Amino acid sequence: MANAPMDADPAPQLDRKLSIIMKVALQLGLIPGQSVADKQKWAADHGVDGIEISTGDYRPDMLDQAKRDFEKSPVPISTVCGNPSFDFLDPDPGKRRASLEQSKAYLRFCGEVGAVGQIVPPIFGGPRINNLEPLYDAVTLEKMLLVELVKELGDVAGEAGSVLLLEPLNRYEQHLLRRLDDGVEICRRAKHPAVWIMADFFHMHIEETSSPRALRRAGKFIRHCHLADNTRLEPGSGDINFVSAFRALRAVGFEGYMAYECGISGPDREASLARSLEFVRGCLTRV
């Protein structure tokens, strides 16, 4: 999206507590350091509020190790990103069940360590379910199935004290949930208190005509954000107007983590990441 609609977004009157309410997290793989403990120290030294781990960092059989690794961490786990498999909407019931059980393990883990929840894009690529028109087309069937599946996952998340975070992706990665409104639709239909959405600034830059308007519209359904610039590199490396987007988040009462999910520009990636953190804090201060 161009800067014009974002710059034109009206700025509400805001208090100075924003930088405390809106917490900045980094994905574990982006943090400099040779060990998990090194990365935790770097994050703490640079004022990072949370660390987002991925299912690539810790498979389901490694979650006990994750608990040990973060037991004395100066920076807590904010969220878990992804799932070992994304067969939630596959026509094979066995594949669907495997993905659901993997997700349940992470949702329980999030509750045990005090993390917000698990981020899950329900599918990558195009539909896998057959088109059954004139009864239902593939997308209608997918949404019907997804609503039932997120209720099941929401029950587990609710019992664990965590949440399921549905992630809309851009059109080049997913056909089903592409805009924030698509994720909100599933939340509204599921009507489950443990099912929310995550807003990714990079994907919004492709799919939304105005990120601030999209954030305001999704409002109360947003529980987590991913930060990246339009380049899919670190915030501050491109042309996204983060101030306007942060104002929109503040306007809807967002109080969650905003985790970096992006590449880091070189040649000195550590310096680039540190500069970007200062850039984000500067945007929060301007808000």
* Positive or negative torsion for Cα 118, 225, 189, 122: negative
Confidence of residue 165 (pLDDT cuts 50, 70, 90): very high
| Mean pLDDT rounded to a whole number for the chain | 93
- pLDDT tens for 177-211 read 999 999 999 999 999 999 999 999 999 999 999 99
Distance CA(187)–CA(219), nearest Å, equals 12
Res 14: pLDDT: 35
Q: What is the mean pLDDT of residues 84-108?
A: 98
E-only strand ranges, the chain: 23-27, 50-54, 77-81, 117-120, 163-166, 195-200, 222-227, 257-260
CATH 2.60.40.1930 fits 22-286, yes or no: no
- pLDDT tens for 31-86 read 999 999 999 999 999 999 999 999 999 999 999 999 999 999 999 999 999 999 99
Confidence of residue 2 (pLDDT cuts 50, 70, 90): very low
* Positive or negative torsion for Cα 213, 206, 236, 197: positive
Percent of the chain with pLDDT over 70: 93
Res 21: pLDDT: 78
Residues 6+ apart with CB under 8 A from 266: 272
Cα dihedral 21/196/124/97 (nearest 10): 130
Res 6: pLDDT: 34
Residues 6+ apart with CB under 8 A from 251: 12, 14, 216
Query: What angle, 0 to 180 degrees and rounded to 10, lies between the N-to-C axes of helices 36-45 and 63-70?
Result: 40
Confidence of residue 135 (pLDDT cuts 50, 70, 90): confident
Confidence of residue 12 (pLDDT cuts 50, 70, 90): very low
